[in-house]
Amino acid sequence: MGTFAASEADARPRRHHHTRHVGRAVYNPPSSAMVLDANTGKTLYASNENQLRHPASVTKVMTLYLLFEQLDKGKLHLNDDITISHHAASMSPSKLGLSPGSTISVDNAIKAIVTKSANDIAAAIAETIGGTEDRFAKMMTAKAHALGMKRTHYANASGLPNPAQITTARDLITLGRAMRDRFPRYYAYFSIHEFNYAGMSMRNHNHLLDRVEGMDGIKTGFTAASGFNLLTSVKRGNRRIVAVVLGGRSAGLRDRTMVGLVKQYFDRASPVRTAGLVTEETPVADNDVGADTSFDVAEADIVEEKKPEIKAPAIAPRQVVAAAPVAAAIVAAPAKFDDRTASIPTSSTNQKTLEAKRTDRVTAGVITGATSPTTTPTQNGNMRWVAGGAKPAVAANAPQNTTKVGKETQDTPRPALASKGMMIQVGVSDDLGKAKELLTKAKSKGHAALASAQPFTEKLQKGGETLYRARFAMLNETQAEAACRSLKKSHVSCFSTRN
């Protein structure tokens, strides 16, 4: 297997012959496929299901899995802003093409991933949650292994070409089931047909959403080394299957293969759920990168077993439109699996209040209020900041009174109060004055919860940029957690960290 300069091409499916030359390499990716009954966990069809493959943009399903976890825990919110770094902006297409320092709401970021398969947005999500994309990739790998995806290893958040970015059809089936089981509140994002943003109209690359009855996601992918991939889910009545096709030699052949699998095996699925929900064998804590996740993929590992292939029938044009109406309100997390809860979360905040709060967010740099999923986020070119729920790239328990912590340089020594235990962070800005505004705003929102806290800013160098953390020194863990709860009730994101 050679090294390819090809970028993610989901946005523009290309026509390929069964064998195509890319540079000096032969375009002939190995194929895999699998169909699983989601109600029973029984395998209905499998071909090369345990062989290593490159996931391409199907990688982004795990990226969103970790993002949905943050939303589920209240550490991020759909109206929070994600900042585009220089690293994120440098990603190869497909991407939105946002400039460094600009922001996009979490809600719009999800839609950009699902429809446009935007690599720049995937990298920005990774940095928001993990601090760096490399660290986030280790978090992804740790999560995969906890879910039982033992042969999966992630090297980036987007699926752009990397020899160490590997998975199997069986592992991706596990991820598809886990996504539906864990996050029915957010799963409906995957059935979005079209996303309009900043004058651009982006259609979902999964064209089978319009052609296969009951198909409600999940994600396509393509690189020269992977071929054309599709992980999907189909539900009709009480039956549900999860299916994956990897290594298609064209988008059309991949889609026809998937249609054939659904047609042949769906009716064999049980209408009665007997399998339990997908769970983590060993729960992974936030920002946990697990054990050593270094990986080396030998060319011999990417092989193809010789098994009969499913017959791929032609697809009838626009056979069935599977799009469901979007619900108007967020639903509570269910106590058990229930397909009726699968609706895209939206805000009930009226537009007038929304505009006022959006203005407040720009001037103070603090997340306030809620943003509708269809609202274009404010582009704040004058200030770069990270929502408080984003963890810093370097742990905050570095020794006090040192001048360098990894790549970070402290502006001034931390207050004496900080040495007693916990701190909370309410944001980061590239402007010292703006960082102080974050503190002032948080202080006014926190009231009694921050009465004994001492505000301070902390300078750090990251990627050639000078940033300022806006933090409060606390006394103990109970006070820090209470302060964060109070701030979040006022729509000010924050997280607590030990000194």
Given a contact cutoff of 8 angstroms between Cβ atoms, the answer to whether 470 and 436 are in contact is: yes
Helix axes 133-146, 60-72, angle to 10 degrees: 90
3-state secondary structure 299-365: HHHCCCCCCCCCCCCCCCCCCCCCCCCCCCCCCCCCCCCCHHHCCCCCCCCCHHHHHHHHHHHHHHC
Residue located via tokens 């720049």: 120
Closest by CA position to 193, among listed 325, 296, 312: 325
For residue 94, say if its preceding peptide bond is cis, omega within 30 degrees of 0: yes
Pairwise CA distance, residues 68 & 360, whole Å: 26
Pairwise CA distance, residues 452 & 450, whole Å: 6
> What one-character-per-residue DSSP string does 156-189 give?
-SS--S-TT-BB-HHHHHHHHHHHHHH-TTTGGG
Kindly list the catalytic residues.
Answer: 57, 60, 117
Given a contact cutoff of 8 angstroms between Cβ atoms, the answer to whether 247 and 230 are in contact is: no
Residue located via tokens 């690359």: 205
CA angle 56, 59, 61 (to 5 degrees): 135
Given a contact cutoff of 8 angstroms between Cβ atoms, the answer to whether 281 and 142 are in contact is: no
> What one-character-per-residue DSSP string does 11-38 give?
TS-----SSEEETTEEE----EEEEEET
Given a contact cutoff of 8 angstroms between Cβ atoms, the answer to whether 458 and 467 are in contact is: no
Pairwise CA distance, residues 87 & 101, whole Å: 11
> Which residue(s) pair with 19 in the sheet?
none
- Taking the C-alpha atoms of 410, 411, 413 and 417 in order, what is their torsion angle to the nearest 10 degrees? -100
Q: Which two tokens mark 214?
A: 């009951």
Given a contact cutoff of 8 angstroms between Cβ atoms, the answer to whether 303 and 165 are in contact is: no
Q: Which two tokens mark 163?
A: 């020899």
Distance, first Cα to last Cα, the chain: 47
Given a contact cutoff of 8 angstroms between Cβ atoms, the answer to whether 408 and 465 are in contact is: no
